[in-house]
Structure 1
Amino acid sequence: MQIGSKIKRLRLQNGLTQEELGERTDLTKGYISQLERDLNSPSIETLFSLLEVLGTSPKEFFDESKKSEPVVFSPHDQTTYSNDELGYKIRWLIPRSNENDMEPVHITFSAKGELKQFAPSLSETFIYVLSGNVEIEIGTQVYQAEAGDAVYYSAEDQHRIYNAHDGVSELLLVATESYL
């Protein structure tokens, strides 16, 4: 077991710097760094103090029976929704992606297909156009993107995506919060 990497992962999950963790446990930043790189081993007392600050128990910390989160998702794991009226199909590539920091979706537009207009949000959005040609309307600006183009924007204004191609257009969209 790599104690250091588990301590580092917990520290990062708690949004703490090495210095902040050190201050809360009366340890130095250098010592925390050595622990995380497995260059030093903590005493039992020090480990318990670290775990308390990091919000976990020794039992949870050393429990190897936890299932690791899946990394690869097959089409069987994915969910698809079609809206024939607006002319699009969305495939959520990751189950429960709306619970994560990023939400990746594959969107297929039929001719004249479009997504609804979205209200301003704190979302950041990345789009990669796989085929066809789309228009992205952000506030009063309209941007064209074709196959092979990448798009990145902050969704601080109302925004909308629609097919600007006579045929099918496809894109990969990744947003940093619940977007669709």
Structure 2
Amino acid sequence: MKALPVHSGSGDARIGARLRNLRRRNHMTVEQLAAAAELSKGFVSRVERDLTSPSVDALVRLCRALRVEVGEVFAAEAAVDVVRLAEAPEVDLGGHGIRELLVTPSVNKALQIIRATVEPGGHSEDEPYSMDCRHEALHVISGQFVLSTPDQRLELQGGDTVSFPGSEPHGWENPGSQPATVLWIMAT
């Protein structure tokens, strides 16, 4: 099983926006959250705007009222991340005649997208492999591409998408005379 190219990073300690998003997801007003957590409306408002940091006790109360674990507040990913193709890090998950770029933030553990260019005749290693993720999808942007599983050989072309469990052993190849560009999408 191949591991995803995940890197740990330093998290942002500002949690106000995360708490606000959790409150909104629960369809609660500031007043309702403050009452449920037995805190003042002004205090909750200041916490949500990152003007003050809650004590451990206040954070636990807020999380209980929001029905989330405290760790979920700190584990939340930033709402918007941009990875420019020209700046995407190169990764190597194996195979021949392939160049792979990680086009999602490397700290994102829940979703990773790899943009690969596979030269004509490029192929995976001899033995089928699986990925350490729950779901995997392959989208062919251009060219010809073959995905092989123990049960089938799928001949794909530009515009085709296939999805399967990450634990499904598979292999791949570019049988065409032109490079193929594909996106590998992996989600936990």
TM-score under structure 2 length normalisation: 0.60
Rounded to whole Å, the distance in 1 between the matches of 2:162 and 2:111 is: 16
The answer to whether residue 114 in structure 2 is matched with residue 105 in structure 1 is: yes
The answer to whether residue 130 in structure 2 is matched with residue 119 in structure 1 is: yes
Partner of 1:6: 19
Unaligned runs of 5+ in 1: 13-32, 62-67
Change (3 A) 1:43 1:141: same
Q: Which has the higher contact order (CA 8 A, sep 6+)?
A: 2
Rounded to whole Å, the distance in 2 between the matches of 1:71 and 1:77 is: 13
Secondary structure at 1:51's aligned position in 2?
helix
- Provide, for residues 143-168 of structure 1, a one-character-per-residue CA deviation record: whole Å limited to 9, x for no partner: 11101111111133311121121221
How many residues in Structure 1 have an aligned counterpart in Structure 2? Answer: 144
Partner of 1:24: none
The 5-angstrom pairing of residues 2-151 of structure 1 reads 6=19, 9=22, 33=26, 36-38=28-30, 40-43=32-35, 46-47=38-39, 48=58, 50-51=61-62, 53=64, 54-55=69-70, 71-81=81-91, 86-97=96-107, 99-116=108-125, 117-119=128-130, 122-151=133-162
Alpha-carbon shift at residue 6 of structure 1 (Å): 2.0
After superposition, the CA RMSD in angstroms is: 3.7
Code of the residue aligned with 2:172 in structure 1: it is I
Code of the residue aligned with 1:108 in structure 2: it is T
Code of the residue aligned with 1:170 in structure 2: it is T
Aligned residues with identical type, % of pairs? 13
Partner of 1:165: 176
- The question of whether the paired residues in 1 share the 8 Å contact of 2:81 and 2:105 is answered with no
Rounded to whole Å, the distance in 1 between the matches of 2:95 and 2:185 is: 24
Secondary structure at 2:122's aligned position in 1?
coil
Change (3 A) 1:167 1:51: same
Alpha-carbon shift at residue 91 of structure 1 (Å): 0.7
